[in-house]
Structure 1
Amino acid sequence: MRKLTAITCTLLVALFIFCADAFAQPNKLQPVSDAISPALSAQLNDYLAKRMQESVDNRILAQDIDRLIAPFKTENRTETRQWQSEFWGKWFTSAALAYQYHPDKKLKSVLDKAVTGLLATQTPDGYIGNYAEAHRLEEWDIWGRKYCMLGLLAYYDITKVKWSLTSAVKVADNLISELNKKDGLIVNKGNYRGMAASSVLEPICLLYNCTGNKKYLDFALEIVRQWETPEGPQLISKANVNVSERFPRPKNWYSPEQGQKAYEMMSCYEGLLELYRITRNPAYKKAVEDVWANIRDTEINIAGSGASTEMWFGGKALQSTPINHYQETCVTVTWLKPCGQLLRLTGQAKYADEAERTYYNALLGSMNGHGANWAKYTPLNGQRLAGSEQCGMGLNCCEASGPRGLFNIPLQMVTTTKVGVQVNYFADGTFKLKCMGDDVTLTQRTIYPRSGSIEMELTLPKPAVFEVAIRIPAWSKNTKLSVNGEAITNLQPGSNATIKRKWSNGYKISLELDMRGRLIETLTPAHSIAIMRGPVILARDARFGGPSIEAVLKPVKDANGYIALSEAPNTTGDDILMLYKASFIPESYTENGAPPVSVTLCDYASAGNGSVNSFYKVWLVQLVYPSAE
């Protein structure tokens, strides 16, 4: 009876989706408008600017493009199992985002070469890939085609050259034709209940937006229909089921029946959000919002990432323990992307809160000091070590994908809305916007996150009435905001403070965020504490000496439960963002206890990320007191 009920529920959800789609065609409803629009340009300074330039110079421009293209050549189309065909698209979309942030002639010429080189391999039937003809559609073939389409569409967005769009159309047409000739099914292709293959939904929706060809909308709707069949990943009907518990544990971890694959699952939901923008089907938006909340609440750790051996596993509750292959950088990047998508769609501060935490911790922590390499996995306690090469390509998936996360944020830092300007993130820089028809520049002066003081100034051609919305992070409990010295009151952490008034050139906005050291505690599986300052986790690092990295240390708290942090000098010679001293009471074997000792803490992204791979520690295990229980 339970099985019948489950099947009935699945069919009812599928029927609801089908019926909703029947009344959600674009010729009947206008596409959904996003709540915010990106800045026309952003010029960052200081720490983030340096990290992005290093990534361009030492990773994006240093890449051997010919090596990325080689697998696609006719003589090399012998693949039956691996994923070489993803690397070109991941690298290219990283490079395209970097170019959108900072248009540069050298980078543009590299993009041109990469596209023309790839298109030279496209066969008359439209195929771009490296799989042997008898093995097309198998394993990672469709996944690779997805990344090729995303790259070609990104190039079209930048250049508006029709032949790039035409080539992406040919790839899509070839895929649809081959699927129809086979069995018409995409959810039985490759591993992970079809999630890798059916994540092609995203570029298919983007193609529909570019061409208006209903064939692509029909294909997108068919993909989503197949999700809800028994063999599919059931991404909508299981949207309220914990992502780690949707299907029984498979006998083979990396297999067709595995339904907990983190990266591919989130990629599918990104596509579903694009389909929502086209159709206005509320079931799609609700599914993405519900899953986002579930991932945040059950999987995302203090650093803003998660997953073990690339799967969801209920990891938030276990984050203070040693975890195998933790925090794959591809998972980190792909968590950042739906956060950004939902921020763009809704403008809600909670999405920026999560993205910021991920950006400053898990993402920047996976990038080495000079941007040439990205760690495959990054533990919360341990070492940062380079990942291994994959598929004979000279790099791995995370090194190709890491810069996609890095350049995902800049143009969303300051955005426009239908009624004004919205400040989502804080960084020293200049942001040019088109606000209600006028050119507006917002300049931020700050050393955030080293400091919580942010000064903003507006430059505009004439006085105008509009709203300026500023995110008040959920962690900032004591915030001050003023305009030209006039205090703005009733600030709510975790929301946007909205200021509507007549603005004139040179108006100044001052924001002071609460940067006190916060203690984060977990009681499972053992009582442990971590320390955050603003959006940044602090960590111990063996480089700085002091008590052994394994010493049991109890933080000295003030009356309000915060820990005092004082800036410490950097004598290591390594590039470290934040360095502090704090007082802890060490474990004592005497009746009277030990006096406090000073311990050095640095930001998580810098921990273990110097000239030597030192051991570091985010979670500090605390003593058990049976007498107090």
Structure 2
Amino acid sequence: MLRLIRQASLLIGCLGWLPATAQSSVPDELTPIYTEKITGYIGEKLDASYQNRILAQDVDRLVSPFRDRTETRCWQSEFWGKWFTSAVLAYRYKPEPTLKAKLDKAVQGLIATQTPDGYIGNYSEASQLEQWDIWGRKYCMLGLLAYYDLTQDAKSLTAARRLADHLIQQLKEKNVLLVRKGNHRGMATSSVLEPITLLYTRTKEPKYLQFAEEIVRQWESADGPQLIARAGVPVSERFPKPQNWFGWEQGQKAYEMMSCYEGLLELYRVTGKASYREAVEKTWQNIHDTEINLAGSGSAVECWFGGKKYQTMAIHHYQETCVTATWIKLNQQLLRLTGEAKYADAIEQTYYNALLGSMKPDGSDWAKYTPLMGQRLEGSEQCGMGLNCCVASGPRGLFTLPSTVVMQSQQGVQLNFFVPGSYTFKSPKGQVVTVKCQTRYPVSGDIHWKIEIPQAEDFAVDVRIPEWADSYQLLVKSQEVSGKKGTYKRLKQSWKSGDEITLNLYLQGKVIQMGIEPQQVAIVRGPILLARDARLPGPVIDATLSPMMDKTGTLKLDLVKENTDGIWMQFQGSFMPESYKEGPGNPVSVILCDYASAGNTNDARSRFRVWLPQLLNPQKL
């Protein structure tokens, strides 16, 4: 058990949390705890990605570009850091020797390519600082710091410091602004703010804090993305539409923008400057309100475009997986900082729908884009690396969940997500406490926790009541207690071994209507977005079907299959088909499945659709 507690303390560093020796001006409300085991459907998906993506990666291929150093424009250097940081998360979840050996080899191989002046990258000397060079250095630093937090290996920290020192010196010698380099108004290059700030928290060297503050100063210059000054401006409208969509003048690039805000939150923890946090929170709210669709993600052609209102349409290059994973990571930053339920709600929606929907069922591959209708198609290889940016990003989102299902709070523990498994933490008095969760959620709404503790003790257990939960029952030691949806219910009392908490969430089919006449409709059940799939029985995929809902907008759904035929969950509901008779036709039964499974096959891709077209009725015009 002591090993578990040591693992828990080390886990903090891997995800960007400060190690125990570092101090911040603003403490987090929540810290991660060690996960003994996750079971059920999510456990299966974690295991599939672990075996078929994380362990299957050829490490030598990731390191090779750093030896060659011939690049002038591409981004091969990001793949090492993306894979490495996701692999460290995977190792913390399941510390197998095979993966540890792979991590050791990867970091030793990368450090061996570091030049005498400290550079680690794939660019030729004449092209350094340009295009994606600094972006790649960011991912190298993140990987090296993750390895340091895992092992306390001094060589990896030294390599990260030398890499940062080289960048600072190179910018100084060439007398160039960071935000004028690379792409997307300097957001790609200046997202290096995150590892620079993390490097400061681990070394306490003032030069790294000074450089971090200089990055933010450059943001707010005329040449910068003005991520603080324009935080109140919709993310899709901050700059004019660029002539070169992927060039420097593109200020709406979704992934890079959120990466910068992740770094700004880390800097806020160090400095306590309220304007930093306020900028992130304002931007989060705008993204949530104007961009995020029913699957929990957004963006088109990798940029924000006010897309929430367009989600019923067929959209070009919709919902990039890099954006999906980074939206989850940004929400997790805000969740641990504030402990607020809205960030957990957002993570749940995105994780169960957009993220799992972008992962191939066997975990070996990830889609680059995931539409709400049509087909799930394989993305292109990039930079001759045998994968693309989204294949590398997907596991970074997937493996963040184990450490945040249950989190330590200053008063006790917070139950964020309803995932079956066993979670161990330390009580306020230092006792080792285990919370065991039994549930089939989100197929079923019944969640049951049991506490195991050596001696009775007073502490708080905070239980999330989801925002969508219009009807629920919360029982503590068989006694019903009241709460409010969209918040955490604090249960502050004496807990002894065997005490139980039960949350019964009543899952119903809720019909969402969008657009002017004729509207389109979609169906959600709890956090799960449902879809039609051409593999399932019923009318043709494009048939006009109106859900037979009651006056509250509820569609009765019956579970017909669970985790069979490559589909997580299938429900049957009644719909009214288009009729050419004088009167209405007869209802038909339609099978819906979860969005993550819809069209998501290992072989032939199946057509699917979320939004169901409705008939235009002139009487309603």
- The one of 553, 558, 576 aligned to 2:567: 576
Q: Which runs of 4+ in 1 moved over 3 A?
A: none
2:70 corresponding residue in structure 1: 78
- The one of 573, 576, 580 aligned to 1:585: 576
Q: How does 1:433-444 map to 2 (within 5 A)?
A: 433-436=425-428, 437-444=430-437
Q: Does 1:147 align with 2:139?
A: yes
1:67 corresponding residue in structure 2: 61
Q: Which runs of 5+ in 1 are unaligned?
A: 1-28
- The one of 321, 326, 349 aligned to 2:341: 349
Whether contact under 8 Å (1:321, 1:525) holds in the other structure is: no
CA shift at 1:475, angstroms?
A: 0.4
Deviations 1:272-298 (A, max 9, x none): 000000000000000000100000001
Quick one: structure 1 residues 122 and 30, their matched pair in 2 at CA, closer, same or farther if it must change by over 3 Å?
Answer: closer
1:445 corresponding residue in structure 2: 438
Q: Does 1:57 align with 2:42?
A: no
- The one of 598, 602, 614 aligned to 2:606: 614
Quick one: structure 1 residues 96 and 570, their matched pair in 2 at CA, closer, same or farther if it must change by over 3 Å?
Answer: closer
1:370 corresponding residue in structure 2: 362
Q: Does 1:44 align with 2:38?
A: yes
Whether contact under 8 Å (2:408, 2:414) holds in the other structure is: yes
1:210 corresponding residue in structure 2: 202
CA shift at 1:356, angstroms?
A: 0.3
Residue identity opposite 1:584 in structure 2: F
Alignment partners' CA distance in 2, 1:508 and 1:612: 46
RMSD of aligned Cα (Å): 1.2
Q: How does 1:14-413 map to 2 (within 5 A)?
A: 31-73=25-67, 76-413=68-405
Alignment partners' CA distance in 1, 2:554 and 2:154: 58
CA shift at 1:570, angstroms?
A: 6.7
Alignment partners' CA distance in 2, 1:297 and 1:99: 35
CA shift at 1:39, angstroms?
A: 1.1
CA shift at 1:319, angstroms?
A: 0.4
CA shift at 1:83, angstroms?
A: 0.4
- The one of 406, 411, 427 aligned to 1:414: 406
Whether contact under 8 Å (1:317, 1:524) holds in the other structure is: no
Q: Does 1:482 align with 2:475?
A: yes
Q: Which deviates more, 57-66 or 272-281?
A: 57-66
CA shift at 1:525, angstroms?
A: 8.5
Q: Which deviates more, 378-387 or 97-106?
A: 97-106
Quick one: structure 1 residues 168 and 511, their matched pair in 2 at CA, closer, same or farther if it must change by over 3 Å?
Answer: same
2:19 corresponding residue in structure 1: none
Q: Does 1:470 align with 2:459?
A: no
Quick one: structure 1 residues 104 and 521, their matched pair in 2 at CA, closer, same or farther if it must change by over 3 Å?
Answer: same
Whether contact under 8 Å (1:39, 1:415) holds in the other structure is: yes
Whether contact under 8 Å (2:194, 2:266) holds in the other structure is: yes
Identity of aligned residues (%): 57
Alignment partners' CA distance in 2, 1:319 and 1:627: 26
Whether contact under 8 Å (2:24, 2:269) holds in the other structure is: no
TM-score, normalised by the number of residues in structure 2: 0.95
Residue identity opposite 2:27 in structure 1: S
Alignment partners' CA distance in 1, 2:420 and 2:312: 33
Residue identity opposite 1:420 in structure 2: G
Whether contact under 8 Å (1:541, 1:614) holds in the other structure is: yes
CA shift at 1:545, angstroms?
A: 2.8
Whether contact under 8 Å (1:42, 1:410) holds in the other structure is: no
Alignment partners' CA distance in 2, 1:169 and 1:525: 59
Whether contact under 8 Å (1:40, 1:434) holds in the other structure is: no
Whether contact under 8 Å (1:31, 1:277) holds in the other structure is: yes
Alignment partners' CA distance in 1, 2:537 and 2:500: 43
Q: Which deviates more, 610-619 or 123-132?
A: 610-619
Quick one: structure 1 residues 443 and 185, their matched pair in 2 at CA, closer, same or farther if it must change by over 3 Å?
Answer: same
Whether contact under 8 Å (2:517, 2:620) holds in the other structure is: no
2:549 corresponding residue in structure 1: 557
CA shift at 1:521, angstroms?
A: 1.5
Whether contact under 8 Å (2:517, 2:616) holds in the other structure is: no
Alignment partners' CA distance in 1, 2:75 and 2:150: 27
CA shift at 1:176, angstroms?
A: 0.3
Alignment partners' CA distance in 2, 1:206 and 1:570: 43
CA shift at 1:225, angstroms?
A: 0.3
TM-score, normalised by the number of residues in structure 1: 0.94
Q: Does 1:500 align with 2:502?
A: no
Alignment partners' CA distance in 1, 2:512 and 2:490: 30
Whether contact under 8 Å (1:137, 1:189) holds in the other structure is: yes
**SS of 2:535 mapped into structure 1:** helix
CA shift at 1:30, angstroms?
A: 5.2
Residue identity opposite 1:72 in structure 2: F
Residue identity opposite 1:43 in structure 2: K
Whether contact under 8 Å (1:52, 1:406) holds in the other structure is: yes
Quick one: structure 1 residues 465 and 201, their matched pair in 2 at CA, closer, same or farther if it must change by over 3 Å?
Answer: same
